[in-house]
Amino acid sequence: MLTYLSKKKSEINNLFASFLQQVKQDAERINAWGPDTVDRLQEYLSRGKMIRGALVSVGHEMYGGSRGQQSLQVGAAMELFQAAFLIHDDIMDQDLFRRGKPSIHAQYREVLKSQGGASAGQRTEHLADSLGICVGDVALFLAFELLGTLEVPIELLQSLLKLFSRELVYVGFAQMEDVYYGGVEASPTEEQILSLYRYKTGRYTFSLPLMAGGILAEAPSSTLEDLALLGEKMGILFQLKDDELGLFGDAEEVGKPVGSDVISNKKTLYRYYLFQTVQGENRKRVQKLFGSSPIHREDLLFLRSLLTETKVKERVDRLMDTLEQESRRIIAELGVAPEWREKLFQLVEYNRNRGK
């Protein structure tokens, strides 16, 4: 699966090279921001793993589709949507790093500062955020250009456009919920947390590209429904693993500072179950820990042992087991060739057991 993904990434990168070259050339007559933005986007895109983009080809090839070039184009659109979301998310979360380098708005902070910064009464940071919002919007429009110029029968084009616009609308609503609970005292219910995982990670990261590939291969609608459900299961599993790594992961392996989810008071399912269970002195200490900075190693060890003692860790582990089993069951019943079944099993295995 890893070889497959990296092959698809290089094919999508090639597609970007020619598409963005053309956009850049056309953009030169607008102003200097045009070509500069295209260059920044291309560099930013090249640093992604492009799993979402590659999953379009997976969904397409496993149903025997013959639209290889079109599925790469849809994959490239998927990666541009993802870039747009990351660019906007990083502004919302005020994250200055992404994919190992400065995030887009952080890049503009540097550019602006090197030119003397904002004029009196204006904030350089706000100006940089504003430029970042524009770049995110531009990435969205370019993604729709890739979708809109697909050479496929009109029924497929319309299905794809409807699928993308509607799922992206839902991602937007899920993101609002995420942003909201990230910024206020109140906490979401278990149902709200799982719904957020379903729409922001599950359907968007897994169901959407698999379904798009299925549409290109003209798979029947019952298959598309199976892929949607599979994506939800795999995505919630992926997100729970992400939460686990945020609490139990090794800093060097995970690649982000230990306890950053605790510091940002991320309203995870672990946190929800923990507050359901813990009482007395421990509860007070936990309440103080979430949202405070810095988190020391002993605080994290305390949290970890508490999550184990209260059986919260076990509870989430069981949920992940269930999601893993359900994913494997759906895959087994998809009716695809053993080669593809194996690839999907590997993806489930990765979502369940990855170290970062």
- Residues numbered 258 to 277 that lie near a copy of itself (CB under 8 A) are 265
Interacting residue with a copy of itself among 27, 58, 215, 234 (CB under 8 A): 27
Cα separation, 118 vs 40, in Å, equals: 21
Give me the 39-78 binding string for a copy of itself, x by CB under 8 A, dash otherwise: ----------------------------------------
Among positions 114, 115, 222, 279, the unique one binding a copy of itself when judged by CB under 8 A: 115
- The residue (of 64 and 172) whose beta carbon lies closer to a copy of itself is 172
Shortest distance (Å) from residue 178 CB to a copy of itself: 9
Under 8 Å between Cβ of 79 and 209? no
Binding residue (CB under 8 A) for a copy of itself from 5, 56, 58, 135: 135
Q: Which lies closer to a copy of itself via its Cβ, residue 205 or residue 320?
A: 205
- Residue 285 Cβ, how far from a copy of itself at the closest point, in Å? 17
Q: Which stretch binds a copy of itself (CB under 8 A): 42-50, 88-96, 278-286, 308-316?
A: 88-96
Residue 291: CB partners within 8 Å, gap ≥ 6? 262, 263, 264, 265
| 36 vs 349 by CB, closer to a copy of itself | 36
Q: Taking the alpha carbons of 336, 340, 346, 352 in that order, is the dihedral positive or negative? A: negative
- Of 19, 44, 164, 204, the one binding a copy of itself (CB under 8 A) is 164
Instruction: Candidates 1, 134, 254, 319: give the one binding a copy of itself (CB under 8 A).
Output: 134
* Binding to a copy of itself in span 280-299, by CB under 8 A: 291
Is the N-terminal amide bond of 294 cis, ω within 30° of 0?
A: yes
| Of 2, 3, 114, 116, the one binding a copy of itself by CB under 8 A | 116
Minimum CB separation of residue 60 from a copy of itself in Å reads 19
Residue 330 makes contact with a copy of itself by CB under 8 A? no
Distance of CA 284 to the CA centre of its chain: 33
Give the burial string for 260-296 (b: 16+ CB within 10 Å, else e).
ebbbebbbbbbbbbbeebbeeebeeebeebbeeeebe
Least gap, CB of 303 to a copy of itself (angstroms): 19
Binder of a copy of itself out of 1, 4, 13, 34 (CB under 8 A) = 34
CA 356 to chain centre: 14
User: How far apart, in whole angstroms, are the C-alpha atoms of residue 44 and residue 235?
Assistant: 24
Burial string for 19-34 (b: 16+ CB within 10 Å, else e) reads: bbeebbeebeeeeeeb
Question: H/E element holding 161?
Answer: helix 154-183
* 193 and 180 Cβ atoms separated by less than 8 Å: no
Q: Is 50 left (phi over 0), alpha (psi -120 to 50) or beta?
A: left
Least separation in angstroms between residue 226's CB and a copy of itself is: 19
Distance CA 226, CA 233 (A): 11
Could you tell me how many residues of this chain bind a copy of itself (CB under 8 A)?
Answer: 73
35 vs 25: CA distance, rounded Å: 7
CB of 158 to a copy of itself, least distance (A): 6
Contacting a copy of itself within 165-204 (CB under 8 A)? 165-166, 168-170, 172-177, 179-180, 183-186, 192, 195-196, 199
Tokens of 55: 């999953």
Among 39, 43, 145, 190, binds a copy of itself (CB under 8 A): 145
